[in-house]
Amino acid sequence: MNFLDIISSLLLFAGTFFAFSGAVGLFRFPDFFTRVHAASLTDSIAAILMIAGLLLQTSFDLNTAKLIFILVFLLITSPTASHALAKSARHGGLLLFTEKPTKQGGTNQDD
């Protein structure tokens, strides 16, 4: 196991750690907006770390370009999706856990 392999496994480990913590946050945070926060932040950092770990295993060929393409694409689209989702949720009447439901409606739960 050479130097690059060690760095790459450390990056992969850190990536899975953040991915896992995001998944835990999906269950444990009190309202939808904090859950979006947990999911989207860890999504980005896990993608960066894990793809960086894989990049160290390539030898500057087409696969390097594809990995960078995946990284760029994920870094553009994943926060956008989270943003649009949070915006729709706010629009659809979901409240922060600190807010109380008012007369205009709004809820922390549906279905």
Q: What minimum distance in Å lies between the beta carbon of 98 and another protein?
A: 17
Nearest 5°: the CA angle 69, 72, 77 is: 120
User: Are 29 and 2 a contacting pair, CB within 8 Å?
Assistant: no
| Residues of this chain that bind another protein (CB under 8 A) | 1, 5, 8-9, 12-13, 15-16, 19-20, 22-24, 26-27, 32, 35-36, 39, 43, 46-47, 50-51, 53-54, 57-58, 63, 66-67, 69-70, 73-74, 76-78, 80-85, 87-89, 91-94, 105, 107-111
d(C-alpha 55, C-alpha 60), whole Å: 9
Residue 23 contacts by C-beta under 8 Å, 6 or more apart in sequence? none
Q: With respect to another protein, which residue has the nearer C-beta, 18 or 98?
A: 18
